[in-house]
A and B are shown apart, each in its own frame.
Chain A
Amino acid sequence: ETGVTQTPRHLVMGMTNKKSLKCEQHLGHNAMYWYKQSAKKPLELMFVYNFKEQTENNSVPSRFSPECPNSSHLFLHLHTLQPEDSALYLCASTERGASTDTQYFGPGTRLTVL
């Protein structure tokens, strides 16, 4: 595997379910990001992890719970979601977490909440 991978690619869940999204980067990077991409809205940054430490939480509801066990893996745990949470969730990584770094994106997980 190369680059940034995300699993699953598609997920349908009910509002009472608990599920997790997984992101893995094979680039040796030290910073990882979760974004939400909704139709007709700009990408919304959700969380940033730098060297496994959370450095940004962009006022995300607690029903989204991130986890970064090491610099290569990032999870987004989901519980009691709402239909408006349906979106494409993108993971990205950068080498150092610096503003000049290129962000490398995974293909995303398309989430549908029923």
Chain B
Amino acid sequence: AQSVTQPDIHITVSEGASLELRCNYSYGATPYLFWYVQSPGQGLQLLLKYFSGDTLVQGIKGFEAEFKRSQSSFNLRKPSVHWSDAAEYFCAVGAGAGGTSYGKLTFGQGTILTVHP
């Protein structure tokens, strides 16, 4: 069974500071990995995803994430945070190549990001 852990429930950073949100996954084969963001009153929006190839993936809004197989991690980073980045961030893992899960994703419990001016 696949699982996702986001160790930080709540993170506070100052505007302009760098950001790293942690995500650790458990999956027996090659995972498909995603980061989604949810603003208050909104559904989730995809930031970026990793399937294969270059382990550093670029996403929207200046976010990037790095897949580290040895650490079972897929941490999300941004070099300079903007006040509009305040939201809840979810890491998710899907069955990789050969899986038959019909697009089933397992989500972490989320990290709430607060940005101070």
User: Which residues of A does B touch, CB under 8 Å?
Assistant: 4, 31, 33, 40-43, 45, 48, 50, 55-56, 90, 92, 94, 96-103, 105-108
Contacts and interface: CB of A to CB of B under 8 A. Distances in A.
A97 B41 CA distance: 25
Given A50-B102, A98-B103, A41 B109 contact: yes
B56 interface: no
Nearest to A4: B43
Nearest to A44: B107
Chain B interface: which size bin?
A: 20 to 34
Contacts of B105: 45, 103
B104 to A, nearest CB: 6
Interface string B19-54: 000000000000010001000011111100101000
A90 B44 contact: yes
5 contacts: A33-B103, A42-B90, A98-B102, A103-B36, A103-B44
A55 B103 CA distance: 10
B101 A99 contact: yes
Query: Which 10 interchain pairs have the tightest Cβ spacing?
Result: A105-B43, A43-B107, A99-B94, A105-B44, A42-B109, A97-B103, A42-B107, A97-B102, A55-B102, A102-B46
